[in-house]
Structure 1
Amino acid sequence: MNQQKNQNLLKQYGEWGIKLNKSKQLLRKAMIRIIIYAFIYTFGLLGVIVIGWQLASRITWYNSNPIYEFLILIQNGLIILLPVLLICGYLVIVFFELRKPYTYLDELAYGIQEINNRSTYAIRLEDDELKELNDLLNQIKSEIEFNEQAAKVAEQKKNDLIVYLAHDLKTPLTSMIGYLMILKDEKELPQKSHDHYVEIALDKAQRLEDLINEFFEITRFNLTQQALEISQIDLVRMLEQLIYEFKPMFQEKNLNCELQAPKSLAIKCDVQKMQRVFDNLLKNAVNYCFENSTIHIQLTEEKQGYHIVFENSGYTIPQAKLDHIFEQFFRLDQSRGTKTGGAGLGLSISKAIIEQHQGTIQVQSYDEKIIFDVFLPQL
């Protein structure tokens, strides 16, 4: 996964490099300099000849003077010497100007090698004309280092989660076996105790099922490979159906759930994925809500899209935790024995689904309130 990210990053910056059109810029500058230097050299050479001719004509020369004989030789051969001097000068100019791209290649190879060697220092290309390329290479280097560090952190979280899940799977399983053994061995168990033990075993089995589902979620869920299946649905009916399905959970904590929404509101979305988002948000609200309180869901329509706000009363979440709440494997409740301590994937998956719909999700917590604000644009 890390290698794929780096390849995608290099491809992205490669496209930026094409947009910058740096190679054509350098070639164009080199050609302009060649033309300018050629003009300067041509007129400079002609100027030297003219000035030399004028100065030589003002001096009285004698046939026996070696300088006079040399100047006469130049004068007689000027028709051949002048083109030779011009061609030689042009070749020298072209040689020095076209030599620069090869030095650019050397510097570029150096920069790429520094990225490959994971150097801790910033890349510094010597030529000022390569400043944009220098900045681009440093950006690539920084992004690769950031992605690698993020991948290591995510991998560590994943490994920790597997260890935690192994412990969590064992705990309810041990309890189930214990209570089932009691039911098997105690033939004369009172009906009240029998029902109580069956209820506990069933609760532990359901907890075990939830943990197993979360465990498989880690390995099978990959939003980047799942295309949206867009269809139209009444968002109000979807939320009403969800609230109805959660009634047993509401009754356990004596909660009310109020939906403030228009009579109907048709939207286009991936229905299954969006149901998953709202299910995660409502489950999160129930888990972290005070008993005997009310969960508020507000649906409003705007020109650009739709706002769906989930608000519940609960302990204020510190900002340090809010900053990481949408990260994979982040658990708001770190205790291993509570039902609120899931795998830490629900909110991360919800955020990914919403972003697939080109929307946003934000969270805030203050005055013992927890508020999730989802915005979905019109598709």
Structure 2
Amino acid sequence: MKRLAKWRLVSLFALVSLILSACSGQPHLSTLQPAGEVAQKQYDLMVLSTVIMLAVMAVVAVIFVVVLVKFRRKDDKIPKQVEGNHALEIIWTVIPILLILIISVPTVVSIFKFADVDAMERKNEDGTVDATVVNVRASLYWWEFEYPNEGIVTSQELVVPTDEKVYFNLIASDVKHSFWIPAVGGKMDNNTENVNKFWLEFDSEHVDPNELFQGRCAELCGPSHALMDFKAKALPRAEYDQWVSDMKNVEEAEVATTDLAQQGQEIFNQSCIGCHAVTPSNGTPAEARLAPNLTNFGERSIIAGYLENNEENLKDWLKDPETFKPGNKMTDTYGKLTPEQLDALTAYLMGLKVQD
């Protein structure tokens, strides 16, 4: 009995752990809190499937109990042998087909709806596109976001307008990745050979200006796969247009304003500029971009995809990138900076801002 009690306790803790494993303290990280049309439809389909499965389980359980009680053996007589019942066979064949249709029809309709990207292919006479388009390139272990219509490039923090469709071209530089913003919709693979296309919509009703959406790589891609995160900032159209304008006029942000930052800029130009860019449109082909674009680094909320953006974390990252992101490409380059160089480079990077 003691052993049985222990197993019951272990089973209880295992069940609680399984339930709590889906919980998270981070905002906008749950598919159960949809914040856009795609996510809402996916949530509705999930609820529909769950309700149908629970209903089937309940009906089967009731039938099982009824049969168990009503037809339990009362004596040693052998009951009448029945080889089949055509009516019952038809019923338990037709009902599953109907249930599958109830699930599959709205699912297939939604798939075709979300795959409709004609708007991003429709060009005006001057070659421009009215839709908001973002080229998402995934690399080990960071994200690049290129806005072809606006002519700007940024990294690690996706900025999009609210209440309108945002179209994405997805591709990878090295291995297969997968683009996913749980609260908004997805996920879809970033392949190395072909470009996948889809759209998302960020609902302003669910946007908190103080909280960014969490983005993830949903395809195992290497030792730092779990750390390959990004943020998504959804802005009203007017604020988004202002952000685009500020990014286009970024030249003023490139100049260091203090003596310490100027020293950091010299260090950056001697060692970092070979991989990183500090202008949103540096002319480098997408395939040749080796590291995240740092144009507005000082305004971003994260470092290396998941660390809070502050001077302490930045210095720790520059001193030893491998500790924070195993297998990253900065490991062989950094880690040899003196404390003075760290202070200077940190001052320069934290000053890279395009908005007041």
With the shorter chain as reference, the TM-score category is under 0.3
In the superposition, the TM-score normalised over structure 2's length comes to 0.27
Task: Pick 1 or 2: higher relative contact order, CA cutoff 8 A, min separation 6.
Answer: 2
Structure number with greater Rg is 1
